[in-house]
Chains A and B, each alone.
Chain A
């Protein structure tokens, strides 16, 4: 891989041992990708503060410098970690102090994470603590090269914003934060951003939040790690619907970039999405039968109608999603056997508090929780056997992570389940 003189100086230690270790990781990673060179970035979204048993052991051995060296730089050296070289934010992590006595989650983890926030805050990490940095102030521009992780954020940044990032990991974002560099490979290169698969919606209109999630789950299954282009009978989506669509496509497949001609910024037309007319492939149809198949797949791990737990806000809810949930819960009371949590970025929870939505939800017995989610923190209400969600991503992952049953439905069905304790959902 070609290195500039500046990059060689970093590799050779001119900027200190930690930057040299970061450059060593980027060189090993660039070799693994067969990348030609690195590119300059100044927007990193990674994870440093999320508690884990391995991290707790490393911190006990050698403090946060040791934990960052091993986990975020893949280095065995004793390093002193300098301030972040470029703007860097913390994605979603574990539950925080405001979850204590609500979420069954180890207090030791809350304390470890508090300690981490202090350390990384001092080193210039913005603690956004959300899987949706684009909802709380980190909104990269079209064409901006970034080093982001979190698959649902990566697909949003590439597809909806037209920014350029691969689906990075903990070590590559750690190395990027200390160098401002990432391999110029994959989605960073113009020629790799074209569509590969055409999905045509026929015989139904995709217009609800649930429908956008099911279409995303289908598109991910069709495109795998490639780039679906979605056409046909679509209503104009909003931020929350594309947030759900992308998270689902990144879950069933490994989609990091899609185009919706006329909606997303890099494809005004189908031809432009594929580069030229000759490159447009035959369409795969998404119709009523495919929609039903997605619904049944997402509900195949549900058998008991007795719902213990309702989870909303995956990816983290917008203020408007919190408002919608509050409107449905207004004047109601949750079933004594059911809990309801809405996950949100803390900055947006503050807005929901201020707008009175949180109070309405809490009067009904529900909770708005920040920073984390049950999947990240492996934590659900005690005794949960069956959960319901409006998120295709969470319906996919949480059964594996917590060994529980899942129902996938609309926001209205989920709130009904929370109030009655029973799942009455069905495809409409």
Chain B
């Protein structure tokens, strides 16, 4: 078990399976909120569904529609259940707020390196516990 410490973005506690992106994620033009799937053709997670997963990603990129698209995943029932964000920005901070899922950033290790897709992750406010698959 690996324990990481960071800063709370959206308070709360949740556990689930990690889905890790090593590349930044686009909202508008990057995901289909109706299905909860990454649709950017050049992206490493192209075609992968993030609904019900804890989404681990380095940062948000692209359009300012980012937060609105992730808000729509909440309203459509396709949202991730938690977010672990490498580097916060206005897009990802607002996105986590309106997705209304526990979210954390500024961890003491790079989450996209130390967490792998499929690991079991517990977010408890500013603390993240990782059980390797």
User: Which A residues are closer than 8 A to B by beta carbons?
Assistant: 25, 28-29, 31-34, 47, 52-54, 70-71, 74, 149-151, 154, 166-172, 185-186, 224-225, 250-251, 253-254, 301, 375, 397, 399-401
Contacts and interface: CB of A to CB of B under 8 A. Distances in A.
Contacts of A32: 9-10, 88, 93-94, 96-97, 103
B71 A71 contact: yes
A414 B64 CA distance: 28
A401 B39 CA distance: 8
Given A70-B75, A74-B71, A171 B64 contact: no
Q: How large is the interface on B (under 10, 10 to 19, 20 to 34, 35 or more residues)?
A: 35 or more
Contact of B68 (A28, A71, A375): A71
Q: What does DSSP make chain B's interface, helix, strand, loop or mixed?
A: mixed
A227 to B, nearest CB: 13
A170 B68 contact: yes
A167 B59 contact: no
Contacts, number: 106
Chain B CB count within 10 A is highest, among A225, A253, A401, for A225
A76 to B, nearest CB: 10
Given A253-B61, A254-B62, A400-B30, A171 B87 contact: no
A167 B66 CA distance: 10
B88 A170 contact: no
A301 B42 CA distance: 10
Nearest to A253: B61
Which 3 pairs show the lowest CB-CB distances between chains A and B? A169-B67, A149-B64, A32-B93
B29 A254 contact: no
Contacts of B131: none
B100 to A, nearest CB: 8
Chain A CB count within 10 A is highest, among B39, B41, B64, for B64
B39 A400 contact: yes
Contact of A167 (B40, B41, B72, B91): B91
B64 A74 contact: no
B133 interface: no
Nearest to A401: B29
B9 to A, nearest CB: 5
Contacts of B95: 169
B64 A154 contact: yes
Contact of A224 (B24, B30, B40): B24
Contacts of A254: 24, 59-62, 89, 91
Given A250-B62, A397-B29, 12 more contacts: A29-B94, A34-B7, A71-B68, A167-B64, A169-B64, A169-B68, A171-B94, A172-B67, A254-B24, A254-B89, A400-B41, A401-B39
